[in-house]
Structure 1
Amino acid sequence: MNGSALVRRVHARTRELPGAELTHPFGPEWDVYKVRGRVFLLLTELRGQQVVTLKTDPEDSRALREAYPDITPGYHMNKKHWITVHPGGALDAGLLDDLVTDSYLLVVENLPKRTRPVDPAAFARDRS
């Protein structure tokens, strides 16, 4: 998947997530998606390529980095809980959608129940 396809796919998937909002707290070169004020995804350019940084479970992070050379530890983020996806690799659109959704749900799960835009367990089941 090339850089522009990566960006289009990420923007399309985030628009489908209840309560997700696009912000630019670090300037126009960073697209930062939040849910209820908490970051779950960042898009920016790194060494001339568009990249996406996502929250992930630490065990999943390790497995993904081992399985895909285009997935690295999170750029400017906690390397245990975040990954960065680079364009041009073997990552398919379905997996990218899953990574975006999983990142979103990890953040939603840690929100107070009364402020959650979805029930994380039900939302995860509905997409299976």
Structure 2
Amino acid sequence: MTPRRLREFCLEQNAAVEDFPFGPEVSVFKVAGKMFALSDLAATPLTVSLKCDPDEAVRLRAEHPAVVPGYHLNKRHWNTVTVGELPARMVRELIEDSYDLVVAGLPKAQRLRLDRP
């Protein structure tokens, strides 16, 4: 997965926006003002930090050396993934899971506006 495709896929999520609260080099992808992914798209290797269910986070880290505790994030709820070391399909699924976790934590009124009860 290329940096361009990573960015495009994050922005394909319903109501997702890209923001730069940490400076121009770090893309932060949000839904309803809440972060679900962040990445320095120019970095080598390309990594993306994603929210994850705590039990799933532990399992993923044990099974995949490319998945480590979230860099500068709550390590219980966030993983940092080296993109090129995992299949693109898996990276897409992890992004979708992160997005879904964030949306699930939104107030019901916001979820309904996103067509997600």
TM-score, scaled relative to structure 1? 0.82
Answering whether residue 8 of structure 2 is matched by residue 12 of structure 1, we say: yes
Structure 1 SS opposite 2:49: strand
Q: Map of 1:25-44 to 2, 5 A cutoff?
A: 25-44=21-40
CA RMSD of aligned residues (A): 1.8
Query: Displacement of 1:14 after TM fit?
Result: 1.4
Answering whether residue 105 of structure 2 is matched by residue 110 of structure 1, we say: yes
TM-score, scaled relative to structure 2? 0.89
Change (3 A) 1:76 1:46: farther
Aligned to 2:75: 79
Which structure 2 segments of 5+ residues have no match? none
Structure with the bigger RCO (C-alpha within 8 Å, sep 6+) is: 1
**AA at the equivalent of 1:103:** S
For 2:43 and 2:14, how far apart are their aligned partners in 1? 32
**AA at the equivalent of 2:68:** T
Query: Displacement of 1:44 after TM fit?
Result: 1.8
Change (3 A) 1:48 1:93: closer
For 2:37 and 2:43, how far apart are their aligned partners in 1? 19
For 1:28 and 1:47, how far apart are their aligned partners in 2? 13
1:48-99 Cα distance to aligned partner (Å, 9 max, x none): 432100000001101111111111000000111000011442x101111100
Aligned to 1:119: 116
Q: Map of 1:28-67 to 2, 5 A cutoff?
A: 28-44=24-40, 48-67=44-63
For 2:75 and 2:4, how far apart are their aligned partners in 1? 25
Q: How many pairs align?
A: 115
Percent of paired sites with the same residue: 43
